[in-house]
Amino acid sequence: MDWGMSNRISRMIKPSTGHSVMLACDHGYFMGPTRKLENPRKTIEPLLPFADTLAVTRGVLRTSVDPKWETPILLRVSGGASILKEDLSDEEITTSMKDAVRLNVTSVALSIFVGSNHEKQSLVNLSRLVDEGEEYGMPVMAITAVGKELEKRDAKYLALACRLAAEIGVQIVKTYYCENFSRVVDGTPVPLVVAGGPKLNTEMDVFNLVHNALEDGAVGVDMGRNIWQSEHPVAMIRAIRAIVHERASVKDALQFFEDEKKGKGVESHAHV
């Protein structure tokens, strides 16, 4: 692997632990002003010290992220559909590699829609992005989007979608956690991170998801709503960091979350 590509990956997936906590704030690209992300800067700023990577579009990057902040950027470069459409799969590449390089981002991300009306279009778009990424040393993340059809969140479907992305040549895949997730990991010869999906009922549900995904072989999370829609987003991301980077148990993460909430945080859990 070329030095630039390898260096960019090391900035996102921490070599000290081999894991990563990515903060996903790119929802507006098709969902508009998502609850608690209406003002992106307000949501992002307090969480950034605890994120290994921030996922955004170029619009949010230029308007709401201070260029002096050092967190590596995962740039969402696909779009073209909105939640008003039944079919969310009709996406194209919406940001050029040239602009991604100008923005000095660390990686680019595009959704693929395996099994949808626009399956071929999304896979060909991904191939083009990977070709350009190879040219510029820019890692590409494929996101195995399931859109409104959340029932597709099973190991058979996700293993297929993740494998297709790996075969096209991406450096990393974002997918969903599911039962038998190790089957998805085993069939995908590149690192996997998991999204959180819509907000879960309890903190324990979120910590279980993160813990199980890591146990099954995910390198980390690229999570949004379950962090910033929480009443205590900083405590939430810090507890997730403890699981991802320190292999904290769910019980310890819960205790850590409760302590953080009350302002009794343990300093050693900060930045790994």
| Catalytic center residues | 174
| Nearest distance from C-beta of residue 200 to ligand R5P, angstroms | 10
C-beta of residue 146 within 8 angstroms of C-beta of residue 153 = yes
The packing angle between helices 3-12 and 119-136, to 10°, is 110
| Nearest distance from C-beta of residue 2 to ligand R5P, angstroms | 27
Nearer of residues 80 and 197 to ligand R5P, judged by Cβ? 197
| Nearest distance from C-beta of residue 222 to ligand R5P, angstroms | 6
Structure tokens at 228: 């910033």
The window from 5-13, 131-139, 146-154, 194-202 that contacts ligand R5P (CB under 6 A) reads 194-202
| Nearest distance from C-beta of residue 4 to ligand R5P, angstroms | 24
Residues 211-270 binding ligand R5P (CB under 6 A) are 222-226
| Nearest distance from C-beta of residue 73 to ligand R5P, angstroms | 13
C-alpha neighbours within 13 Å on the C-beta side of residue 61: 26
If one asks whether residue 195 binds ligand R5P (CB under 6 A), the answer comes out as yes
If one asks whether residue 114 binds ligand R5P (CB under 6 A), the answer comes out as no
If one asks whether residue 163 binds ligand R5P (CB under 6 A), the answer comes out as no
Nearer of residues 133 and 224 to ligand R5P, judged by Cβ? 224
Nearer of residues 184 and 223 to ligand R5P, judged by Cβ? 223
Residues 34-63 binding ligand R5P (CB under 6 A) are 55
Nearer of residues 27 and 163 to ligand R5P, judged by Cβ? 27
Could you say which of 24, 60, 235, 242 contacts ligand R5P (CB under 6 A)? Answer: 24
Is the backbone of residue 172 left (phi > 0), alpha (psi -120 to 50) or beta?
A: beta
Could you say which of 11, 26, 152, 209 contacts ligand R5P (CB under 6 A)? Answer: 26
The site for ligand R5P (CB under 6 A) is made up of 24, 26-27, 55, 143, 195-197, 222-226
